[in-house]
Amino acid sequence: MLHIPRVTENGRLGPVNSAVVPRYSGAPTFALLPRLDEVEGAGQRAGIKVVGVPFDSGVSYRPGARFGPGHVRQSSRLLRPYNPATDTSPFAQVQVADTGDLAVNPFNIHEAIEAIQADALELTEDGASLMTIGGDHTIALPLLRAASQRAGVPLALLHFDAHLDTWDTYFGAAYTHGTPFRRAVEEGILDTDAISHVGTRGPLYGRKDLEDDRRFGFGVMTSSDVYRLGVDEIVARLRDRVEGRPLYISVDIDVLDPAHAPGTGTPEAGGMASRELLEILRGLRGLDLVGADVVEVSPAYDHAELTGIAAAHVAYDLIGLLGERS
């Protein structure tokens, strides 16, 4: 086997050294990080595992998010080891490894949900945290189930999305990309004193959508709130809502305006800029983040790789937040 020169810091196996090996060559792992088997073969334990879930059988409009994990990995090749925005080296805080993709049934959504939950529990059995790349937002439910089971308590949730995703059913189906957080509330796996949407916007089916959402306990910070109040005030309000509790962050890339993320299934005008999303995430440092996902990247609609690049940077900053806990 050829020797692969890697950036190493604090004894962690980091990305392939792109000063020696061209970024566009080699295995397309996230940020050119080592695979899980390479880490374990070197006698290390991965504290954060990057895992893809190529599943989009729960979408209600444009499909294609099943190809999101590979696209985000490809878009992540330009990420570098040091993050000057946070003065951290995310891959040196804790060992990070790419576990590859889960194999889930695209024809049976119930079986897929069960498999994702079981695989997430297996991957975190050794105490690791998951940074999951979807896939459609259906996958958030089994990931939340597993994370709540590992934490032993209901979770706080920050849900970045253009949409509420708390609808009851689509075409009579209870498990879709528009229903995961309603199901999570009903199942008692969310701390309803510490859950909030961020970046919502666009038309709804009726006023009842918002009334139901308030009844479930969700706070709502719309994209207009982000624009009018500013990042610092939004961060302060979110921290006040979730601080001191085990936290899960779920990012639907359509929280960004289509100008920043065209490659998604249900785009809505009037969204946040990628700069605003990243600055909000960076403002959440020090919270007890137990897991995170970024979902709904559909590469077929992603001209100039804008969405994949945005999602890769979101995942990079989320890895930095997860690493603080490990």
pLDDT digits 0-9 by tens, 245-255: 999 999 999 99
Instruction: Please tell me whether the overall predicted TM-score, pTM, comes out greater than 0.95 for this model.
Output: yes
Q: What is the pLDDT of residue 275?
A: 98
Mean pLDDT (whole number) for 195-214: 97
Q: What is the pLDDT of residue 326?
A: 58
Strands 247-252 and 155-160 turn out to be: parallel
Q: How far apart are CA 54 and CA 64, in angstroms?
A: 9
| pLDDT tens per residue across span 263-298 | 999 999 999 999 999 999 999 999 999 999 999 999
Q: Is the pLDDT of residue 1 over 70?
A: no
Count of helix runs (H) and strand runs (E) in the chain: 11, 10
What CATH architecture does domain 6-325 belong to? 3-Layer(aba) Sandwich (3.40)
Q: How far apart are CA 270 and CA 326, in angstroms?
A: 36
Q: Locate the domains of the chain by residue range.
A: 6-325
Q: Is residue 96 very low, low, confident or very high in pLDDT (cuts 50, 70, 90)?
A: very high
Q: How far apart are CA 25 and CA 13, in angstroms?
A: 18
User: To the nearest whole number, what is the mean pLDDT of the chain?
Assistant: 97
Reported as type and span, the H/E element at residue 280 is helix 274-282
Among residues 57, 130, 134, 127, the alpha carbon closest in space to that of 97 is found at 130
Q: How far apart are CA 273 and CA 230, in angstroms?
A: 12
Task: Spell out the long-range contacts of 225-233 with Cβ–Cβ below 8 A and sequence spacing 24 or more.
Answer: 226/198, 226/199, 226/272, 226/276, 226/280, 231/276, 231/279, 231/280, 231/283, 232/283
Whether omega for the bond prior to residue 11 falls within 30 degrees of 0, making it cis, is: no
Q: Is residue 15 very low, low, confident or very high in pLDDT (cuts 50, 70, 90)?
A: very high
Q: Is the pLDDT of residue 2 over 80?
A: no
Give the residues across from 248 on adjacent strands.
157, 291
Q: Is the pLDDT of residue 66 over 90?
A: yes
| pLDDT tens per residue across span 102-161 | 999 999 999 999 999 999 999 999 999 999 999 999 999 999 999 999 999 999 999 999
Q: Is the pLDDT of residue 214 over 70?
A: yes
